[in-house]
Amino acid sequence: MQGKITPLSELRPMNTLYNVHVRVSRTWEYRGKSEKNPLIHFDMVVIDQKGYAMYYEVPPQVVDQFKQYFQEGKVLYICNACVERAKPGYRVVDGPYILKLIMRTQIFEGNSNDTNFPKYVFSLTPIEMLPQYARRTDRFLDVIGKIIAISNAAVVRNTSGDLMMRRLITLQDHKGNTIDLSLSGQRALEFDAEAVFHIGQNHHVIAIFVGTLMKIYREDYKFLSGTSACRWYINENDIPAMRTFQRGLPSQVTPIKKLELQSEDYMEQGVEEKTLFDLKQIDPLTDKNKRFQCTVTLISIPEKEQWCYRACRVCNSRMIPGDDGYQCTKIDGCSCKQYDWKYKVCFRGADDTHSLEFMFFEKKGVELIGKSAKTLRKQHDPSSIPPEISQWISHKFIFIVKVLFKRSVRNMDPSFEVVMIKQRHGKQATLPNIIQSVSNDDLPPLVTISSKQKTDQQSLSYTPQFTDIQDMDVDQQSDAWDTTENHSKSQINDNDDKKHEEQKRKKLKIEG
């Protein structure tokens, strides 16, 4: 190889190409949100002899040509490497520039046993400080801890609706702080859980995980997420940070625990299938933790329902205007002033028995619509339903749902959150019969009858005259309509009263 070797710390994005001498520390493939997607680019972290690290991006069209060199631990001479400014987010190493392979780049293999090159690169963040990085995507996080629990690998469904593997690992620091780490996809399968669990029954298992992100599920569950960029080093004696961590551990070992993670297919077992009329009868108090399966056709979007809301970045609760910007509405208080737009899409769904409300929150909203609420909010107001949402009217699905407790206890009919889109049946030509039966489109108009104008009652005669009703069939022999007998009885009573008064006067004269 000809040309000057430039240390990584001296590289700048100029109109020149560089030669570098580096070790490949770690590699991964980036395919976007799903591992089934085509390769977007191949990624590496490389280290030079001085321990300076840089991110290296390889375009997919040249991966096959150089694939033999892209192995962790190899020492390489990379000629004609291009330097660019680092992206603003998802930085694997802390640095303003990155290396990028171009068509003119040449690679030669060096001495991989050269001990002058470090093997590992990381920047550790204490477990107790991790929560402050929740939802931040400016850089990946590296963490060290003792493994105290580990789960099986289970099949779950990601935000794109694809089934993928997931494994949970619990890490603990010297102070007893813990954090859950979720390994996804291929990373969940690559992790040797059996060996870790076996060793961890009698020995401490110390691990460093690199390339993770801090995330929040629902309101308060914060965890580390490890996807394609994640790598780990377990009980490596040649890592000084790991030996230092070991010195702070007690001599007595607490065996690693097993966590049971339910698979998606297991979660579907025992889920009772119900019609919407059956779901209408459930009790939000006693059935709030149950899941149900139902077949639903989306028929409308309720009026005055906004499709997104300002969600607190810490706890996902709704944000409302306050004295100094927006404030969180969480009951037990939250000091966060920042928010993100999240989905809260409400559909009216129906089958042939009834219609009910179904709510899609951020995760299932993204799965249904294909875009985040943040992206859609840039183009549409919360009170105006975007076509990306309204297009799902008349589409039929099989959902697994659970009752929305707070919303249901305030209304006669319960509302449900969609927790899984199990099957899609596409757009339907006709709506369920229950909707057609209550439609007004096919009914003739009714003739409206208004009340008469108000009339002064004193102007009416004592006996109402039913002149506006003709040919009424009335039994004229009925006592109700015969006034002769009543009139005769009245005259007899008057004569008896006069006779009684006359006799009284005569009696008074005699006594006087």
Q: pLDDT tens for residues 163-194?
A: 788 999 999 999 999 999 999 988 999 999 99
- Domain of 38? 8-109
The 10s digit of each residue's pLDDT in 270-326 is: 688 999 999 999 999 888 878 899 999 999 999 888 999 998 887 788 899 888 888
Instruction: Report if residue 448 sits inside a domain.
Output: no
- Residue 457, CB half-sphere, CA atoms under 13 Å: how many? 0
In terms of domains, do 164 and 256 share one?
A: yes
Instruction: Report if residue 297 sits inside a domain.
Output: yes
In terms of domains, do 325 and 228 share one?
A: no
In terms of domains, do 247 and 310 share one?
A: no
In terms of domains, do 287 and 382 share one?
A: yes
In terms of domains, do 290 and 218 share one?
A: no
Cα 326 from chain centre: 22
Mean pLDDT, rounded, of the chain: 84
* Number of helices (H), then strands (E), in the chain: 12, 23
Q: Tell me the pLDDT band of 454, cut-offs 50, 70 and 90.
A: low
Determine the pLDDT at residue 226. 93
Task: Give pTM, 2 decimals.
Answer: 0.57
Strand partners, 417: 359, 402
In terms of domains, do 176 and 81 share one?
A: no
Determine the pLDDT at residue 76. 95
d(CA 112, CA 96): 27
In terms of domains, do 256 and 288 share one?
A: no
In terms of domains, do 84 and 159 share one?
A: no
Determine the pLDDT at residue 35. 82
Residue 397 sits in a domain whose CATH number is: 2.40.50.140
Instruction: Report if residue 493 sits inside a domain.
Output: no
The last residue of one of the domains, among 413, 437, 461, is: 437
Instruction: Report if residue 505 sits inside a domain.
Output: no
d(CA 81, CA 18): 5
Determine the pLDDT at residue 54. 96
Determine the pLDDT at residue 505. 59
Instruction: Report if residue 203 sits inside a domain.
Output: yes
In terms of domains, do 145 and 244 share one?
A: yes
In terms of domains, do 217 and 199 share one?
A: yes
Q: Tell me the pLDDT band of 260, cut-offs 50, 70 and 90.
A: confident
In terms of domains, do 371 and 258 share one?
A: no
Instruction: Report if residue 503 sits inside a domain.
Output: no
d(CA 457, CA 229): 89
The last residue of one of the domains, among 437, 465, 494, is: 437
In terms of domains, do 364 and 429 share one?
A: yes
Please tell me which residue, 431 or 232, carries the higher pLDDT value.
Answer: 232
Q: How many domains does the chain have?
A: 3
Instruction: Report if residue 457 sits inside a domain.
Output: no
- Residue 417, CB half-sphere, CA atoms under 13 Å: how many? 19
CA nearest neighbour of 196 among 141, 241, 151: 151
d(CA 43, CA 29): 6
